[in-house]
Chain A
Amino acid sequence: GAVVSQHPSRVICKSGTSVKIECRSLDFQATTMFWYRQFPKKSLMLMATSNEGSKATYEQGVEKDKFLINHASLTLSTLTVTSAHPEDSSFYICSARGRDHEQYFGPGTRLTVT
């Protein structure tokens, strides 16, 4: 299957700071990427759909000004958590959509806000 990377894998930041997470599609061009959030022992919660060259589409209840998404190229999408607070601590996972709508997921980023 396709390979998707995320960086960093873990990050600890102080409350009020911003954190950027990168998601790269390593072996195919992805016009569409997705950002998910996952709570312990829960399933994936879609946050937003990232489309190359256009604005991201956010799910209901997700603050677009807090979770900034940029999809500047066919292989890179970034999620920036702005003014992070402890309640933003979570496991963030990105995916890239393949030709047949299957999604290939990155390894995830564990964010801890202190």
Chain B
Amino acid sequence: EDQVTQSPEALRLQEGESSSLNCSYTVSGLRGLFWYRQDPGKGPEFLFTLYSAGEEKEKERLKATLTKKESFLHITAPKPEDSATYLCAVLFSGGYNKLIFGAGTRLAVHP
């Protein structure tokens, strides 16, 4: 079954404490993996697209990496404003051009 699983479900960090969020997927024919940030009561904000294993992308304190089975979103020295829910989604062959979303990781960064 095509599936996207994110872990942990929730993560609490102290300001400056680096960590990683995980997104594992079991789909055949990955065409793209997407990371989004969602603040409460708002729509998701696009962060990154990764297309192939070994690819990495960075934006400020965030770096996304991709392997054949999973993606990591590394957060370096997080600040309270990084608190949000981080969603990953995959596009795959046979998926009718639709994204399958994981359940998200709720990140809380405390000063």
Judged by a CB distance under 8 angstroms, whether A8 is at the interface is no
Q: Please report whether the interface of chain A is mostly helix, strand, loop or mixed according to DSSP.
A: strand
CA of A41 to CA of B31, assembled, Å: 27
Chain A: how many interface residues by the 8 Å CB criterion? 25
**Residues on B with beta carbons closer than 8 Å to the beta carbon of A78:** none
Binds A, one of B13-21, B64-72, B73-81, B101-109: B101-109
Within 8 A of B (CB), among A73-108: 91, 93, 95, 97, 100-108
| B interface list, Cβ under 8 A from A | 31-32, 34, 36, 41-46, 49, 87, 89, 91, 96-99, 101-104, 106
| A interface list, Cβ under 8 A from B | 1, 4, 6, 32, 34, 41-44, 46, 49, 91, 93, 95, 97, 100-108, 110
